[in-house]
Amino acid sequence: MKRGGYIVDARPDASRHPRILARDRVRAYLRQCPDTDERDARADRAVAQLIGEGALMPVRTGRVWHSSRFVDLRELDGYVRDSGRYCEYERGTRRALLPFRKGPLFMRRAIRFAVLKVV
């Protein structure tokens, strides 16, 4: 960290569940793994501590929406299975994707960010 430089802290926003879209409509939602919330909380505390100590100064915060494309339901299922952040579909929503299993499918998720200046 160089004095006067900037750091961007960007992570998926857990308060907004990722949406799975097919044919431009939301069809399903993903659920975060419980340990992800714990990891995010630790990261939040670490950043807050550095701000409190005066090492970082918040410049800007916000949220952006990020989209990812999946060729078909099999690829999306693999992503959910292998992801360290998402562990399952919201109850009953995967079934709604079956008519669209040949894809394409899109995941739309909120990314929370903070631009921090190194002081």
State residue 116's pLDDT score. Answer: 97
- As a whole number of angstroms, the distance between CA 92 and CA 51 comes to 41
Q: Is the pLDDT of residue 34 over 90?
A: no
**Across 26-45, average pLDDT:** 92
DSSP symbols for 13-59? -TTSPPEEEETTEEEEEEEE-HHHHHHHHHHHHHHHHHHHTTSEEEE
State residue 88's pLDDT score. Answer: 93
**How many domains, in total, are found in the chain?**
1
What pTM was estimated for this model as a whole?
A: 0.84
Q: Is residue 104 part of a domain?
A: yes
pLDDT over 90, % of the chain: 89
State residue 14's pLDDT score. Answer: 86
Distance of CA 51 to the CA centre of its chain: 23
pLDDT category of residue 15 using cuts at 50, 70 and 90: confident
Q: Is residue 53 part of a domain?
A: yes
State residue 90's pLDDT score. Answer: 94
- As a whole number of angstroms, the distance between CA 112 and CA 67 comes to 14
Fill in the amino acid letter for 41.
A
- As a whole number of angstroms, the distance between CA 62 and CA 93 comes to 29
Q: Is residue 112 part of a domain?
A: yes
> Which residue segment(s) compose the domain that 73 sits in?
6-118
Q: Is residue 1 part of a domain?
A: no
Q: Is residue 14 part of a domain?
A: yes
Q: Are strands 19-22 and 25-32 parallel, antiparallel or unpaired?
A: antiparallel
State residue 37's pLDDT score. Answer: 87
Q: Dump pLDDT digits (tens) for 41-98.
A: 999 999 999 999 999 999 999 999 999 999 999 999 999 999 989 999 999 999 999 9
Q: Is residue 74 part of a domain?
A: yes
